[in-house]
């Protein structure tokens, strides 16, 4: 049986763990060839590769680019082009650091903007023209509810994610007329998760848990309940399922959106 993404190739950045790995697994289950990327120990990278193969990816290739390095991104995009090019690009790699504006270290500002925002520009500017030539392409930028609303002590993160939502809209407009309903079109969208259960938010959970004598469950309730009316975190695979839908033919006319998966956080 032909799978929905048979014959397609997806590049998912930051897919050695968390949301990126879950998205890559969803796309692999649908039959896409998967280019994965991220930091991690050789064991983590091997485990991610095994999970992607087990999910059904016909081919899996690791790209070791550190996305804070523009030359490394260019090399990765050259290698992806030589591999047939990305029909689907998921810009997911990201980092967080919490501190007030007055105390935010300069190097954290620079690193977060470089990874969460600039790296997405460098991958998109290479991938989109190739997608337009084929008449099919999907760019999915993993922004955040913090691309829609602000919170204290997250200046570089919020700035990077608002920037990413803005750049998503520009790219969507520039490529809106590429392709056709029959070829699938070229769409560019942002997914804006609230709290998702991954390593990225663990330091924030631990900081809250400390308020309750180290009780992690109470820390989670305190953290999530403060902002999300649903009072529950999303799972990485929930984001994977939405990304997969955006890759479907039915999503050919969904472009330039910033979709919250935030339990009502940004509805308030």
Which positions are annotated as active-site residues? 157
Piece of the chain touching ligand NAD by CB under 6 A; list 9-17, 205-213, 220-228, 240-248: 9-17
Question: Taking the complex as a whole, how short is the minimal distance between the CB of residue 9 and ligand NAD, in angstroms?
Answer: 19
3-state secondary structure of 115: helix
Q: Among 168, 38, 147, which Cα is nearest to 92's?
A: 38
Distance, in Å, from the CA atom of 261 to the CA atom of 51, rounded to the nearest integer, reads 25
Q: In sequence order, what are the beta bridge partners of 9?
A: 33
**Which residue of 5, 8, 9, 16 would you call a contact of ligand NAD, by CB under 6 A?**
16
| Shortest distance in whole angstroms from residue 37 CB to ligand NAD | 6
Between 136 and 157, CB nearer to ligand NAD: 157
Q: Does 38 bind ligand NAD (CB under 6 A)?
A: yes
Q: Report the C-alpha dihedral over residues 117, 119, 122, 126, rounded to 10 degrees.
A: -110
Q: Which CA distances in Å does 190 have to 35, 106, 119, 135?
A: 20, 27, 15, 20
Residue 99 CB, nearest distance to ligand NAD (Å)? 16
State the nearest-atom distance from the C-beta of 200 to ligand NAD, in Å: 3
Residues within window 53-82 making contact with ligand NAD, judged by CB under 6 A:
66-68
Site string for ligand NAD, 100-119 (x = CB under 6 A): ---------------xx---
Helix (H, G, I), strand (E, B) or coil at 229: coil
Residue 11 sits in the site that holds ligand NAD (CB under 6 A): no
- Are 25 and 55 in contact, with CB atoms under 8 Å apart? yes
The rounded distance, in Å, linking the Cα atoms of 10 and 1 is 20
Number of residues near ligand NAD (by CB under 6 A)? 29
Q: For 90, phi and psi rounded to 5 degrees? A: -110, 110
Q: Does 142 bind ligand NAD (CB under 6 A)?
A: yes
Considering beta carbons, is residue 168 or 184 the nearer one to ligand NAD? 168
Kindly state whether residue 259 participates in binding ligand NAD, applying the rule CB under 6 A.
Answer: no
Which range, of 26-34, 36-44, 179-187, 211-219, touches ligand NAD by CB under 6 A?
Answer: 36-44
Token output for 47: 């485990």
Helix residue spans in the chain (DSSP H): 18-29, 42-55, 70-82, 106-113, 119-134, 155-175, 202-211, 216-227, 236-246
> How remote is the C-alpha of 254 from its chain's centroid?
17
- Is residue 132 classed exposed, middle or buried when 0-12, 13-18 and 19+ CB atoms within 10 A define those classes? middle
Residue 186: how many CA atoms within 13 Å on its side-chain side?
Answer: 25
The least distance separating ligand NAD from the CB of residue 160, rounded to whole angstroms, comes to 8
Candidates 28, 95, 127, 246; binder of ligand NAD (CB under 6 A) is 95
- Should residue 196 be labelled a site residue for ligand NAD when binding is judged by CB under 6 A? yes
Binding mask 175-194 for ligand NAD (x = CB under 6 A): ------------------x-
Assess 24 for contact with ligand NAD (CB under 6 A).
no
In the complex, which residues of this chain contact ligand NAD (CB under 6 A)? 14-20, 37-40, 66-68, 92-95, 115-116, 142, 144, 193, 195-196, 198-201
């Amino acid at each position: 049986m032909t799978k929905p993404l048979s014959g397609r190739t997806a590049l998912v950045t930051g897919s050695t763990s968390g949301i990126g790995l879950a998205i890559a697994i969803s796309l692999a289950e649908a039959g896409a060839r998967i280019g994965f990327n991220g930091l991690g120990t050789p064991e983590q990278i091997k485990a991610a590769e095994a999970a992607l193969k087990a999910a059904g990816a016909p081919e899996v290739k690791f790209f070791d680019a550190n996305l804070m390095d523009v030359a490394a991104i260019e090399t990765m995009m050259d290698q992806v082009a030589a591999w047939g090019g990305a029909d689907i690009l998921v810009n997911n790699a990201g980092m967080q650091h919490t501190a007030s504006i007055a105390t935010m270290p300069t190097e954290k500002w620079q690193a977060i903007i470089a990874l969460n925002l600039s790296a997405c520009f460098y991958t998109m500017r290479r991938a989109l023209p190739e997608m337009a030539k084929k008449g099919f392409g999907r760019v999915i930028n993993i922004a955040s509810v913090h691309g829609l609303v602000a919170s204290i002590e997250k200046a570089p993160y919020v700035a990077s994610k608002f920037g990413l939502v803005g750049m998503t809209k520009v790219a969507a407009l520039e490529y809106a007329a590429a392709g056709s309903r029959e070829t699938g079109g070229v769409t560019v969208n942002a997914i804006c998760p609230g709290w998702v259960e991954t390593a990225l938010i663990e330091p924030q959970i631990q900081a809250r848990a400390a308020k309750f004598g180290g009780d992690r469950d109470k820390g989670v309730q305190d953290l999530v309940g403060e902002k999300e009316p649903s009072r529950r975190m999303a799972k990485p695979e929930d984001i994977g399922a939405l990304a997969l839908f955006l890759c479907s033919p039915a999503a050919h006319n969904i472009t330039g959106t910033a979709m919250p998966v935030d339990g009502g956080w940004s509805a308030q």
